[in-house]
Amino acid sequence: MATIKIGDLTVGGRQKVLIAGPCAIESREQLLQIAREVKAQGAHILRGGAYKPRTSPHSFQGLGPQGLFYLKEAAEETGLLTVTEVMEPEELDLICKYTDIVQVGARNMFNYPLLRRIGRTDKAVLLKRSFMATVEEFLLASEYILKEGNHRVMLCERGIRTFDHITRNTLDLASVPLIKKMSGLPVIVDPSHGTGRSDIVIPMTLSALAAGADGIMVEVHPNPKKALSDGLQTLDFPRFKELSEDFSAMAKFLDGLDEQRTHRVSRESNLS
């Protein structure tokens, strides 16, 4: 399995990675408050949307370059790595300057010119699965980046559209071990977008880890009801603290299972 080194963090190894932050950067004060909280609770990477693709053109579209400046400031204060979404090739150079990881959102998974352009950088990439993409289409999209020479790619399962409307999407956890087996790339799961419901983000986080995810990405806001984007799926600070504690406990448990599996395989190999 491939691992990706980003600063002092290794993604795809034994450590499980926790990515957290607001769906959209709303202000300097909002982002710094969230960054300090998620850092205190053990997050490794701060997420925050500076450019926000929205279904409605009348919805909040993000702060643009100003949001990138705030993201950089939050990273410098807390020591967190950062990830934000790129929507257009013209934005890429600026985003690469201010963040550690470039995210390709679900709407742009099929944007092949953008994928090729990202593939010609050496920046770590978080490629999200489109809500209407098969696993094969998802893996082929990653090949557009890999083919250009950038092998620092993480794949993100964030739910697919099905006939059920009780959740925003259907989180396809069966894809996690399949994608890892077929691609060898690290896999991150986004239970916030995958469910659209904050009340089930924690159990789906634990399920994703059990399925083999290398990390989790969740949305956090001090007051989700007032969030300018995706408040229904966003955790407040007490719920995020609960998630981080459960995340750590599950990661420790799974690490123990891996050690047992390694010892068993070694013992069986010696006997043969």
What is the model's pLDDT at position 171?
98
Name the residue with tokens 């990653």: 142
> What is the pLDDT averaged over residues 16-27?
97
Cα(202)–Cα(213) distance, integer angstroms? 14
CATH of the domain at 78: 3.20.20.70
3-state secondary structure the chain: CCCEEECCEEECCCCCEEEEECCECCCHHHHHHHHHHHHHCCCCEEECECCCCCCCCCCCCCCCHHHHHHHHHHHHHHCCEEEEEECCHHHHHHHHHHCCEEEECHHHCCCHHHHHHHHCCCCEEEEECCCCCCHHHHHHHHHHHHHCCCCCEEEEECCECCCCCCCCCECCCCHHHHHHHHHCCCEEECHHHHHCCHHHHHHHHHHHHHCCCCEEEEEECCCHHHCCCCHHHCECHHHHHHHHHHHHHHHHHHHHHHHHHHHHHHHHHHHC
At 272 the pLDDT is 65
| Half-sphere exposure in the Cβ direction for 181 (13 Å, CA) | 8
Look up the domain containing 164 and give its range.
4-271
Calculate ∠ Cα 206-182-119, nearest 5°: 95
Torsional class of 9: left (φ above 0), alpha (ψ -120 to 50), beta (otherwise): beta
Burial of 80 (0-12, 13-18, 19+ CB in 10 A): buried
pTM: 0.95
> Tokens in use for 16?
């499980």
Distance of alpha carbon 143 from its chain centroid, rounded?
19
Q: Read off the pLDDT band of 60 (50, 70, 90).
A: confident
Q: What pLDDT band is residue 121 in, cutting at 50, 70 and 90?
A: very high
What is the pLDDT, as a whole number, of residue 61?
A: 77
User: What does the pLDDT average to over 240-260?
Assistant: 95
Confidence of residue 1 (pLDDT cuts 50, 70, 90): confident
Q: How far apart are CA 188 and CA 16, in angstroms?
A: 10
Task: Name the band, by pLDDT with cuts 50, 70 and 90, for residue 70.
Answer: very high
Mean pLDDT for all residues in the chain: 95
Pairing label, strands 187-189, 81-86:
unpaired
Considering its fold, how many domains does the chain have in total? 1
